[in-house]
Chain A
Amino acid sequence: MSTLEIRGLKVSVETEQGEVEILKGVDLTIKSGETHAIMGPNGSGKSTLAYSIAGHPKYTITGGTVTLDGEDVLAMSVDERAKAGLFLAMQYPVEVPGVSVSNFLRTAATALRGEAPKLREWVGEVKSAMESLKMDPAFAQRNVNEGFSGGEKKRHEIMQLELLKPKFAILDETDSGLDVDALRVVSEGVVRAKAANNHGILLITHYTRILKYIKPDFVHVFAKGRIVEEGGPELAEKLEEHGYAEYVSA
């Protein structure tokens, strides 16, 4: 059983007009096996939260703590965070020219497992992960995310989730840009990975449709850089119906 604990997290970014505070004190605790959904208006800071936990250099932590089983996540480099068990499926996965998916995946798996996976078993693992996400095997030879459609990028992220087996997965709008079939395939990938690894999930989304596949235990409303309400799955239904007006106007 692992615990990811976020306490009073404050984050700012450097802009031309100076430092701008985006996260204004976020508190959130996620345990293994739990699924937390975060919903909130555009620009409220959801991706900022995800990137800050993963250690993106653009964000400056100005207050608060993030710990994983008591270890100080904020003191770790980006790769150390991944090794500690954090995984971020990005809203906009990055293209890496000239680096093939297969080389990338194997390098990542080697780094996370501490040794190179045995070639034969690895080939099988990758093949079945690709098959279950309905990705053409040809993707293994393509460059990371280069020329992938929006939906293909998201499948590739979830394929990594299945292969890299983190303790906590942060999924930033993994459902955006997916057609109905892709949404099902990708969601099933998340559910399968969770069944296998019992990781905790922080799921950032704008829509309840993904919550039909990935059932949240908790729903958090995010507005203006903090969590403003918490509840069960029924809260998501309410948000879909009424929007965020009552949280934003306050």
Chain B
Amino acid sequence: MSTLQSNLLENHTPTGREEAWRFTPLKRLGGLHDGTAVIADRVSLAVKGTLPQGVTFTYGDIAAVTETDDAIINRVRAHTAQGTTLHIAANTELAEPLFLHRTQFGVDSAEFARTQIRVGNHAQATIVLENSGDTHIAEDVEIVVEPGAHLTLISLQEWGAATIHAARHHAVVDRDATFKSVVVTLGGDLVRILPTVDFIAPGASCDLSGVYFATEGQFFEHRMFVDHKVPHAKSRVNYKGALAGNKAHTVWIGDVFIRAAAEGTDTYELNRNLLLTDGARADSVPNLEIETGEIVGAGHASTTGRFDDEQLFYLMSRGINEADAKRLVVRGFFNEIISEIGIDDVEVRLMARIDDELAKAGK
């Protein structure tokens, strides 16, 4: 237990004027960003079930593999040099998804967590990170995908209403490796997730997808950064959000940087928002910076719209009542991404939660 107050960190306390913080309601961060949070001695992350062959899950000293300028993550690092390491040995192919979940909670104190996920050469794994219950947590998740490895990381925010959650999911993707991330945020008071990717060798690719549904008063921010600094890497970003209720607020930032060396880059990012009621606000900022013309493709799109009257009319003209028609349309909207998860009971559970959120919004 310690509260770090070095000069360095004080200098890093965001004011809200910084580009990276301009949308985030700092007052609702529970002091995660300014050193006022009381940091408890808890390590909540645990494996569900038994570890398969070739996988280790340990707690101990940890060295950061990447740098970050995120104020909260730097506080986490300054606070502790220990963390959880999940290692998947080279050439291991996990037949089943590996589930991680939270076993300790607290809203009177906060957890500063460090986690490293390492997927060895040519290994293949699907990891599901289940976040439910209520807690205050800031988490530095570093992901290393070694040459030829394939990782699918599914991060589920099924939090309760009191949760404050700030996380960075930073993946370092090596030669011919693929990183697929699906981030689903359906609960919490404030959730701020930074899915970021560094390509470090040609042939690397990433696919960042996400779904979020904010209802009355909730703030959900997803802020990507994909750094194309090597040639011939490919990135895809596709996030879909729904908002309903007064002061529901979502932020999606898609920063993609194609550096001069990154010839042959292929990137496309997309964000779609469905505004289900008045009083909600969706900020969507795609941002593509290109330093070389020698690329395969680079594009982005962002849309924010309301229910399509024609779709509702078509469904209702077949006897389906308005609430059910809206539910079908919302499910349909999210289905494209939820169905990528590929784990039936998880998909069913998430769709049920989406139905609940929609029902809440209808009241």
| B-binding residues in A (CB < 8 A) | 54-58, 77-79, 81-83, 87-88, 90, 93-99, 103-104, 107-108, 111-112, 143-144, 160, 164
Contacts and interface: CB of A to CB of B under 8 A. Distances in A.
Interface stretch (B41-49, B151-159, B308-316): B308-316
Contacts of B27: none
B238 to A, nearest CB: 13
A225 B325 CA distance: 32
Contacts of A107: 315, 320, 324, 328
A94 B320 CA distance: 15
B335 interface: yes
A98 B334 contact: yes
Interface string B324-343: 11001101111110000000
Contacts, number: 82
A167 B310 CA distance: 24
A93 B314 contact: yes
B60 interface: no
A230 B314 CA distance: 31
A164 B333 contact: no
B320 A96 contact: no
12 contacts: A55-B313, A57-B313, A82-B318, A94-B310, A94-B313, A96-B311, A107-B315, A111-B319, A111-B321, A112-B319, A164-B318, A164-B319
A108 B320 contact: yes
Interface of B: 309-311, 313-322, 324-325, 328-329, 331-336
Contacts of B321: 77, 79, 111
A150 to B, nearest CB: 16
Contact of B317 (A82, A98, A103): A82
Interface residues of chain B: helix, strand, loop or mixed (majority) = helix
A90 B318 CA distance: 12
Given A96-B332, A103-B328, A82 B314 contact: no
A78 B316 contact: yes
Nearest to A57: B309
Nearest to B338: A98
Contacts of B331: 98-99
Most chain A CB atoms below 10 A, which of B315, B317, B331? B317
B351 to A, nearest CB: 11
Given A108-B319, A111-B321, A98 B309 contact: no
The 10 closest A-B pairs by CB, nearest first: A98-B332, A108-B318, A82-B319, A98-B335, A78-B316, A94-B314, A111-B319, A112-B319, A99-B332, A79-B316
B314 A97 contact: no
B318 A111 contact: yes
Contacts of B334: 98
Nearest to B309: A57
Nearest to A98: B332
Contacts of A87: 317
B328 A96 contact: yes
A94 B316 CA distance: 12
Contacts of B309: 57-58
Contacts of A79: 316-317, 319-322, 325
Given A58-B309, A82-B318, A98-B334, 18 more contacts: A54-B317, A83-B319, A87-B317, A88-B317, A97-B333, A98-B335, A99-B328, A104-B318, A107-B324, A107-B328, A108-B315, A108-B318, A111-B318, A112-B318, A112-B319, A144-B314, A160-B318, A164-B319
B25 to A, nearest CB: 32
Nearest to B321: A79
B328 A104 contact: yes
Contacts of A77: 316, 321-322
Contacts of A96: 311, 314-315, 328-329, 332
With a 10 A CB-CB cut-off, give which of A88, A94, A95, A160 has the most chain B CB atoms. Answer: A94
Contacts of A58: 309
Contact of A97 (B316, B318, B324, B336): B336
A101 to B, nearest CB: 12
Contacts of B314: 90, 93-94, 96, 144
Contacts of B322: 77, 79
B317 A55 contact: yes
A109 B313 CA distance: 16
B332 A111 contact: no
B320 A97 contact: no
Contact of A82 (B316, B324, B328, B336): B316
Contacts of B320: 79, 107-108, 111
